Amino acid sequence: MNPINEVQDIWAYLRTTPLLWLMLTMLAYLVGFWCFEKMKRSPIVSPVAIAASFLGVILLITDTPYPVYFEGAQFVHFLLGPATVSLAIPLVANFPRVRRAAIPMLAALIASSATAIFAAIFIAQAMGASDEAIRSLIPKSVTTPIAMGISEQIGGLPSLTAGLVVLTGILGAIIVTPLMNHLGFRDWRARGFAVGVTSHGIGTARAFQVHEVAGVFAAVAMALNGLVTAFVVALFSQLL
Amino acid sequence: MTEILKAFTFLLGFQFLGTAAVMGLGVPIPGPVAGLLFLIGWLGMNAPRPKLLKETAQGLIAHLSLLFVPAAVGIVQHLDRLALEGKILLTAVVVSTVLALIVGALTFVVMVRVTGALPKGEELRS
């Protein structure tokens, strides 16, 4: 067998194994995190965005379907479960803080999630988006599994919603720090809560990188927004 | 190491309980979120917990953003749609997210004034 074919054979084997895609996912994130550190942890550098673009380009170049990639990446993805559960620990540790701000949180939850939904519908409609795109856009601020369920119930495309959820998360995580600094918001609780409502887990991950208090409030916001939205939609779809 | 394994198993146990509960009750929330609520209840009652639970949680949370990479790569499945309606979708996402961030933070700060729950200590950015 000539060596070129051997290389091709090895590649043909490796590209379908979970190992390659798991390794590249870790590597891409480490590259993203390295950029983040190099830029003195600048909030506009998003390790998730860097890693995802890097991997997306590799998938396109190598003509690898997403499900093949996910075979390997699912091991990382799975850890979202225990990581979500583990948010209980900082939450309980900061419980007096959270309870003291109960009313501001509830008010901000309602105002912010309603703004996210109605502003998106309004803009998309004004710019002539398709009906299914608008429906897919509605649950974009909620964490992925809940958002996909809602999208399906209201006649959107769950997989498009998943993409929009991620996009919203990354954008919110990048925008939040410069925006809040520019507008002069100095209360970590308000900053964290706002990014948790609009940008779910990705916003929460960013908030924990910036300040623990912001992270705790982002986690509460994410959980509340997911719970409330899921129940409101479930209630409506039962009534209809 | 054994202590970390115990803590990790403990977290998986709560995820399992949460998942079982939402399936059994037919509630439309993800299992891990229900697991999170159960764990809040458990810790709130001061029930026993693994020694290194806090450290294990910190380890998972410190690189929480890594865990979103696989889902984020999923955008490649929607390049057709983005080529078609990308500008509209992106505008809608950016503008509504900026507005929702401002409205959220503003409402929070206003209600903090109203209720007198002013930020203290490390709650305020220096």
Q: Which residue type occupies A7? A: V
How many other β-carbons are positioned within 10 Å of the β-carbon of residue A118?
14
How many other β-carbons are positioned within 10 Å of the β-carbon of residue A40?
7
Q: Which of A54, A63, A79, A86 to mutate to test the interface with B (most CBs of B within 10 A)?
A: A86
Q: Which of A20, A48, A89 to mutate to test the interface with B (most CBs of B within 10 A)?
A: A89
The pLDDT value given to residue A137: 92
pLDDT tens profile A43-57: 788 899 999 999 999
- What's the CA gap between B36 and B19, in Å, rounded? 11
CA nearest A163: which of B80, B67, B97, B72? B72
The residue behind tokens 């008010």 is A107
pLDDT tens profile A121-155: 999 999 999 998 999 998 998 888 788 888 888 88
**Touching check for A145 and chain B: CB below 8 Å?**
yes
Averaged pLDDT for residues B20-44: 90
Residues 6+ apart with CB under 8 A from B62: A208
Nearest to B67 among A76, A93, A129 (CB): A76
- Using 50, 70 and 90 to split pLDDT, how confident is the model at A2? low
For residue B6, the chain A residues in CB contact (below 8 A) are none
Residues 6+ apart with CB under 8 A from A104: A189, A190, A193, B107, B108, B109, B111, B112, B115, B117
pLDDT of A3 strictly over 80: no
ipTM: 0.90
Nearest to B75 among A74, A95, A163 (CB): A163
Tokens of A73: 């990446």
Q: Which of B39, B53, B89, B98 to mutate to test the interface with A (most CBs of A within 10 A)?
A: B89
pLDDT tens profile A55-105: 999 999 999 999 999 999 999 999 989 999 999 999 998 899 999 999 999
Contact present, B22 and B29 (Cβ < 8 Å): yes
How close is the nearest chain A Cα to the Cα of B41, in Å? 9
- What's the CA gap between A112 and B108, in Å, rounded? 10
Task: Quote the crossing angle between the two packed helices A66-78 and A47-61, to the nearest 10°.
Answer: 150
For residue A119, the chain B residues in CB contact (below 8 A) are 92, 95-96, 99-100
- What's the CA gap between A76 and A134, in Å, rounded? 31
**Touching check for A158 and chain B: CB below 8 Å?**
no
Total-model pTM: 0.88
CA nearest B29: which of A154, A84, A179, A185? A84
